[in-house]
Amino acid sequence: MLSADDLIELVRDYNPKTNARRISEAYDFACAMHDGQVRHSGEPYFSHPVAVAAILTEQRLDDATIITALLHDTIEDTKASYGEVARRFGDEVAGLVDGVTKLTNLQLSSTETKQAENFRKLFMAMSKDLRVILVKLADRLHNMRTIKAMRAEKQAQKARETMDIYAPLAGRMGMQWMREELEDLAFRVLNPEGRQSIIRRFITLQKETGDVIHRITGDMRLELDRAGIEAEVFGRAKKPYSIWRKMQEKDQGFSRLSDIYGFRILTGSEEDCYRALGAIHRRWRAVPGRFKDYISQPKSNGYRSIHTTVSGRDGKRVEVQIRTRQMHDVAETGVAAHWSYRDGVRSENPFAVDPAKWIASLTEQFDTEDDHEDFLEAVKLEMYSDQVFCFTPKGDVVKLPRGATPIDFAYAIHTRIGSACVGAKVDGIRVPLWTRLKNGQSVDIITAEGQTPQATWLDIATTGKARTAIRRALREEDRERFIRLGHELVRAALEHVGRKATDKVLDTAAKALRLDGRDTLLARLGSAELTTYEVIQAVYPELAPQRGDPVPPRRAVIGLQPGQSFERGSCCQPLPGERIIGITFRGKGVVVHAIDCVRLGDYEDQPERWIDLHWHSGSHPAVYTTTLDLTIGNDAGVLGRICTLIGDRKANISNLEFLDRKPDFFRLLIDVELRDVEQLHSLMLALEAESDIAALARHRETARASAAAAT
């Protein structure tokens, strides 16, 4: 573990004017607060915040950020309070420490809906001061470097969270080195065999070909010297995860991959970058379609560089990045370059992006999005995007992710233009709306009055902004249609029992069914989420038609082909009353899933296997198994009372399994046989009122479990 003096020396290397006394005070205060605490590895806990601070010195960050790193766990894990930190180290540091504490408390690997909410909170925290996320990323990097001390299941959870959220976030911020290391550390946990296989093949390749990097680096230096260009050349093999991802994307074996080596040329000026590009292309054959000029069109996080791929020795492809040393500083630290120091003063790097403008551009399109799932998808699309640059007819530049279409271009200009789009011209030629745009193309959007977004556009659009706007428009259009249909259904049903569908009756029914108005009631009737029987039962229970015998389980689902059998998905255990979708299987019939089941994502690219289904509206027998996850107090008679409570609600217990036994609590799974989702809600309400039940949830496969299974 670094001493306070060693840490101060690391800061002094880039900031001789650092306030050594404040850093030393923070070091001593945090050390005292964490006294007696140990990590999973048995090391003193304080070694962790010191390591986080050391990581941030590599990015040459200011004193406030270094002090925050030392204190980042004090408010959460020690007796230190926000007020005490503010009194000792000022409001700026206290605010940063509090921000990191709030980020730490976000459970980002929870269910999709909650994950979307936490993304919102994460961006809100970032918008206040981006240094909060810089400390959190360094915190995650050190935790991943020392992850072996954790339990296996905790390792997998942290690794998946790192791969899904923190690594792409680091990349989006321009900190590519951190993204690569985070991905590789997570890859080591999630797929150790795959990573080892890549490393073994690398070793074999080096034995067969010798030191390729050294030879190509020497060749490049020679060509640059001949052209009179002063530059540094560096080469490296790409990280195992980067190679693994290329193998998956291109569906190729290691032996067929060509661009597994990367080279970087650093020059003194922008002019020399283009001269160096010319020297490289004169010596080696450029690979078509693999050239990107991020100097003339920089990324939103300030990244500038020329990328090209050439055929090197023995026909091997190599990727070359060319940039100035100032551009390289931003490429290494990304948005963090705004706070970096050199020789005691804030670095005046002309390429460093304003963090406030960057985070504003990233969050702008998500501020008004109400749909959590759409928001999360949009965030992830923006995280992973690589950009292309196209032009409007007036010459304005529009930045889009790779693979974007004219639909994305239209929505990037304005939502109104996107919604009215009927066609597009690319470089003056009419093209289909599904055309993938390329760098430098001019795009002219053709609009028509009265045009509305089409459902097929969701398969065409790639940007979060476009997909969100299309979904919103389709929902509004469907809602109007469902409201009209619902009104006809309820009018006919009420006339059948001698009543009229007046506004007062509909308002009363909506209130009784806990809906937020008559339009919502009608929309749900029209979309088959609600039945007319339920409406009549809510307002005129004495007039509600009597239901006959329970629906036989074999006829419980409507929408199947004659002779087609079905079974409920074990992943989501759908119940009568829930919206459902069927997935066909050869020789197995149809598997029925709840509309929000995470497993449906596995079949997104196979729409021909989807069947629109719904449950029979009659009463159902109590034969549908549903699993409840309970944590109960370990006291005499508790389990017996819970079983009695379940029996009182006319639910039969078919299985019981203990997951965890602690001296004070038990965690168990109970399989109960139910009629429908209404009985489930009634049962869960009764159980939640039981004081001996500490936690209760419906046990269903989560997004995280599905992703882990896929891995």
Is residue 77 annotated as a catalytic residue, yes or no?
A: yes
CA distance 56 to 336: 10
To the nearest whole percent, how much of the chain has pLDDT over 70? Answer: 83
| pLDDT beyond 80 at 642 | yes
pLDDT, residue 704, reads: 37
CATH code, residues 194-346: 3.30.460.10
| Dihedral class, residue 167 (left if φ above 0, else alpha if ψ from -120 to 50, else beta) | alpha
For the chain, the domains span 4-190, 194-346, 358-458, 472-539, 553-615, 624-710
Residue matched to tokens 């693994």: 244
Q: How many residues does the chain have?
A: 711
CB 639 within 8 A of CB 632: yes
The neighbouring-strand residues paired with 666 are 632, 661
Rounded Cα distance, 640 and 646, in Å? 10
| The pair of three-digit structure tokens given for residue 222, joined into one six-digit string | 């020679």
Least confident interval from 267-281, 307-321, 430-444, 458-472:
307-321
- Between these two residues, 510 and 244, which has the higher pLDDT value? 510
Q: Which of 9, 43, 58, 76 is catalytic?
A: 76
Give the pLDDT mean for 544-548: 59
> What tokens were used for 449?
């009055």
Q: Do 692 and 592 touch, CB atoms closer than 8 A?
A: no
- Distance, in Å, from the CA atom of 213 to the CA atom of 367, rounded to the nearest integer, reads 47
User: Is pLDDT of 660 > 70?
Assistant: yes
Q: Which string of b and e fits 39-57 if b means at least 16 CB within 10 Å?
A: eeeeebbbbbbbbbbbbbb
Which CATH fold topology does 4-190 show? Hypothetical protein af1432 (1.10.3210)
624-710: CATH number: 3.30.70.260
C-alpha span between 442 and 438 (Å, rounded)? 9
SS3 content of the chain, % helix, strand, coil (to 5): 50, 15, 30
Beta-carbon-side half-sphere exposure of residue 662 (alpha carbons within 13 Å)? 8
3-state secondary structure 432-498: CCCCCCCCCCEEEEEECCCCCCCCCHHHHCCCHHHHHHHHHHHHHHHHHHHHHHHHHHHHHHHHHCC
Q: Is the pLDDT of residue 606 over 70?
A: yes
Residue among 301, 341, 353, 328 nearest 64 (CA): 341
Q: Is 668 left (phi over 0), alpha (psi -120 to 50) or beta?
A: beta
Q: State which CATH number among 2.40.50.140, 3.10.20.30, 3.40.50.720, 3.40.718.10 fits the domain covering 358-458.
A: 3.10.20.30
Mean pLDDT on 5-17: 89
Phi, psi of 561 (to 5 degrees): -75, 155
Q: Alpha helix (H) ranges present in 628-702?
A: 638-648, 677-688
Residue type, 199: I
Collapsing DSSP to helix, strand or coil, 194 comes out as: helix
Q: For the ranges 235-249, 333-347, 520-534, which has the lowest average pLDDT? A: 333-347
β-strand 317-324 against 261-267: which pairing, if any?
Answer: parallel
Query: 474 CB contacts (<8 Å, ≥6 apart)?
Result: 453, 455, 458
Measured between alpha carbons, how far is 504 from 525 in angstroms, rounded to an integer?
A: 17
| Least confident window among 124-133, 436-445, 536-545 | 124-133
Q: What was the pLDDT predicted at 458?
A: 83
Catalytic status, residue 604: no
Backbone angles phi, psi at 532, to 5 degrees: -65, -30
Handedness of CA 43, 45, 47, 51 (dihedral sign): positive
Instruction: Spell out the residues 6+ positions from residue 556 whose beta carbon is closer than 8 angstroms to its own.
Output: 576, 615, 616, 620
Average pLDDT of span 537-555: 74
Catalytic residue among 9, 25, 43, 77: 77
Partner residues linked to 694 by β-bridges: none
Residue partners of 233: CB distance under 8 A and separation at least 6: 217, 220, 221, 224, 263, 264, 265, 266
Task: Kindly state the tokens that stand for 197.
Answer: 């296989």
Average pLDDT over residues 551-557: 83
Cβ–Cβ < 8 Å for 389, 448? no
**Measured between alpha carbons, how far is residue 66 from residues 51, 76, 256, 349, 560 in Å?**
11, 18, 45, 21, 63
DSSP 150: S
Q: Using one digit for the tens of pLDDT, what is the confidence trace for 352-411? A: 666 666 666 656 655 545 554 555 555 554 554 456 778 888 877 787 877 889 999 999
